[in-house]
Chain A
């Protein structure tokens, strides 16, 4: 049982490039989410999904795109990377949205130069 798996662990992008951060969970959780973590800012919600085919915006959605075609996978796309998107990104899944334990992936440290 791997839990929540994120890839890659580290990534350096040039301004304007696009990329996809991968997230997969094997706990059959309906709810998945993406957070970014910046120093002194805590964890801020980017996008979330309550099930396959359903996504919604969180607190800081601009510049990011998501889709949920299967229960297991929830990729995060950076459309045109900017230095302001330099951050650590965490994917999480839970059984029932914000009312049960969130299981986090190991994180992706992204640097945009």
Chain B
């Protein structure tokens, strides 16, 4: 099945700096790569996603890039703000029967220091 590795596990940045979180996946047939943000004590919520036919996608201060050849994708947050502090999860779908499943990375705890 799909295996998703996420790095780093913790990340501290100064307010206004950029943050980058990287994920690798194992199934070359994966096509859907979402990112979820989970604030303390809350449920995970989708912040951005990308599909395999696109190399980059932006939404205001958030962007995701995908390199299918290398099987990795990254989340970029620019001009970080204290409210960006949260745990971020990357995920990937599988192929065949696994296409019904999302496999998540272990998460990155982002702390934005005012």
Any B CB within 8 A of the CB of A50:
yes
Contact stretch, chosen from A18-26, A37-45, A75-83 = A37-45
Q: Is the CB of A97 within 8 A of B101?
A: yes
Docked pose: A102 CA to B34 CA in angstroms: 9
Q: How large is the interface on B (under 10, 10 to 19, 20 to 34, 35 or more residues)?
A: 20 to 34
Pairs across A and B, CB under 8 Å, 25 listed: A31-B100, A35-B104, A40-B9, A42-B107, A43-B44, A44-B104, A45-B102, A48-B100, A58-B101, A59-B103, A98-B98, A98-B99, A98-B100, A98-B101, A98-B102, A99-B93, A99-B99, A101-B34, A102-B34, A102-B46, A104-B43, A105-B43, A106-B42, A106-B43, A107-B43
Docked pose: A40 CA to B106 CA in angstroms: 6
Residue tally, chain A, CB below 8 Å to B: 25
Interface of B is mostly: mixed
Any B CB within 8 A of the CB of A74:
no
In the A-B complex, the 7 residue pairs with the smallest Cβ-Cβ separation, listed nearest first, are A98-B93, A97-B100, A42-B106, A104-B43, A43-B104, A98-B102, A42-B104
Any A CB within 8 A of the CB of B28:
no
Q: Is the CB of A101 within 8 A of B101?
A: no
Q: Which residues of B contact A (CB under 8 A)?
A: 1, 6, 9, 31-32, 34, 36, 42-46, 49, 89, 93-94, 97-107
A4 CB, min distance to chain B CBs, angstroms = 8
Docked pose: A33 CA to B44 CA in angstroms: 14
Docked pose: A102 CA to B2 CA in angstroms: 17
Q: A90-B43, A97-B99, A105-B43 are in contact. List 20 more A-B contacts (CB 8 A).
A: A33-B101, A40-B9, A42-B89, A42-B104, A42-B107, A43-B89, A43-B104, A44-B104, A45-B103, A59-B1, A90-B44, A97-B93, A98-B99, A98-B101, A98-B102, A100-B32, A101-B34, A101-B49, A104-B43, A106-B43
Interface set, chain A 4-58, CB cutoff 8 A to B: 31, 33, 35, 40-45, 48, 50, 56, 58
